[in-house]
Amino acid sequence: MKSDTSSEYAMSFILPRLTNIASHAMYATEADTVGETLERIADSARELVGARYAALGIPNSAGGLRHFRFSGIDSETVGKIGRLPEGRGLLGAIIRDLRPIRLERMQDDPRSIGFPEFHPTMTSFLGVPIIIGENLYGMLYLSDKINGDPFSEEDQQVIEVIAGYAALAISGAQLRDRERRVSRLEERERIGMELHDGVIQTLYAVGMYIELIRTSEQMRADDLTQVMHDLDSVITDIRRYIQELRSGDSESQPLADCLHEVLDRLHIPPSLEVAIRDDGNSPTLPQTTYESICQMANEVISNVVRHAHARTLKIEITSAPKVMHIVFEDDGVGFDVARIENVSGLGLRNMKKRAELNRWRVEISSSKGKGTRIALAIPV
């Protein structure tokens, strides 16, 4: 009877709020990308129960987080924190057990692993899994109510309801992302066919024409004029195709692809192990910003290969509301940062100048024998 009474009380609390919950859910489903969907769900959850902080993570197959978005922390604080959660502690407990966790004081729970430096102080905790059937879509969790009260059973009921809507919103956003990827592949296939049917065939025809001129006993000046005209047409077509490809890439090409291209060009020696970790939340970037990031990445990786004598280089790409972070960290010989302005050949001054021109924040930390860490914070 007690459970029946509890269920009736919960329903009497939830029902009057369903319209508001549904309105927030619709707002989330209208987002264009997975990242924006997660941000809207976190914002909505925080508002619905009056929490100071909220976050939403989507796990990967390795037990970590593939996507992570939060609400209530400003971008400057995020930049200072640096590394985002990796799916351990209380978050890991939700992933493993697929059950809600509600704590008045999370520091007293043995599963809690604390916070990194610069992280806001948080006390109370409410986390719920986002699931449909046995499929885990993510974890939604909140901390610290604005009025100072602990999270209640009613708060948990509200968040569990919004989590149900969130699963549908996330799956819809993932489907739209897959459709966009398929569309990009189809567009590239179309351009490839046009190259084959247009440019390549024209080049073949020009080649045959040149061969006829070469074997002809009489060659006129007009013959070469026609060849030059045909080649100009080919060059114009190639430029158009390149512009179309670059335009598509500027809208959607992941930064991790750029990094892999840089690694391929630089011919990384077998003695250097490079690991790239991308949270998959990189926002759409203007072409100029994308190219500037790739150029800086080329400079950083090239320096590691030529000067660091490192065994490992870790590159991490993470995104948060209004800021994207890229961290390069090696275990090489390091250098004296105080002498950075006088160091020649490392290109570090160029990096700082490029960051300054783009209004990025770059932090370079290093010491002899302890490797180097270069962190970029890029407003988006």
Same domain? 14 vs 126: yes
| List of residues 6+ apart from 3 with CB closer than 8 A | none
Domain limits at 363? 255-379
Same domain? 6 vs 126: yes
The predicted-structure confidence for 124-174, as pLDDT tens digits, reads as follows: 999 999 887 667 888 899 999 999 999 999 899 888 888 888 887 777 777
For residue 136, the cross-strand partners are 131
How many other CB atoms are there within 10 angstroms of residue 366's CB atom? Answer: 20
| CA proximity to 242, closest of 201, 283, 192 | 192
| pLDDT (average), residues 207-228 | 67
Distance CA 189, CA 327 (A): 34
For residue 142, the cross-strand partners are 54, 126
Same domain? 38 vs 76: yes
For residue 69, the cross-strand partners are 56
Same domain? 266 vs 320: yes
| pLDDT (average), residues 345-350 | 60
Same domain? 70 vs 194: no
Same domain? 170 vs 199: no
Same domain? 59 vs 9: yes
Same domain? 31 vs 167: yes
CA dist 140 to 56, 167, 377, Å? 5, 10, 26
Here the tokens at position 148 are 């100072």
Looking at 52-66, 92-106, 249-263, 303-317, which range is the least confident one?
249-263
pLDDT-above-90 percentage for the chain: 17
* CATH, residue 169: 3.30.450.40
Distance CA 346, CA 326 (A): 19
Q: Which pLDDT score, from 0 to 100, does residue 169 have?
A: 79
Same domain? 34 vs 142: yes
Looking at 3-7, 70-74, 186-190, which range is the least confident one?
3-7
Distance CA 42, CA 45 (A): 5
Looking at 15-19, 123-127, 142-146, 257-261, which range is the least confident one?
15-19
* CATH, residue 329: 3.30.565.10
Distance CA 4, CA 12 (A): 12
| List of residues 6+ apart from 133 with CB closer than 8 A | none
Here the tokens at position 291 are 């190219």
CA dist 319 to 35, 66, 142, 190, 193, Å? 9, 11, 19, 32, 36
The predicted-structure confidence for 99-108, as pLDDT tens digits, reads as follows: 999 999 999 9
Quickly tell me which residue has 């890439």 as its tokens.
249
Q: Which pLDDT score, from 0 to 100, does residue 221 have?
A: 61
Measured distance between the N- and C-terminal CA atoms of the chain, rounded to whole angstroms: 54
Same domain? 139 vs 206: no
Q: Is 70 exceeded by the pLDDT of residue 39?
A: yes
Residue that terminates a domain, selected from 218, 252, 286: 252
Same domain? 363 vs 230: no
- Number of domains the chain is built from: 3
Residue that terminates a domain, selected from 130, 156, 178: 178
Higher pLDDT, 191 or 13: 191
Q: Which pLDDT score, from 0 to 100, does residue 237 have?
A: 66
Here the tokens at position 310 are 């490192």
Query: Do residues 375 and 362 touch, judged by C-beta distance below 8 A?
Result: yes
Q: Is 70 exceeded by the pLDDT of residue 263?
A: yes
Pairing of strands 361-366, 323-330: unpaired
Pairing of strands 312-320, 273-278: parallel
Distance CA 89, CA 111 (A): 5
Q: Is 70 exceeded by the pLDDT of residue 8?
A: no
Distance CA 157, CA 147 (A): 19
Residue that terminates a domain, selected from 201, 230, 252: 252
Same domain? 9 vs 99: yes
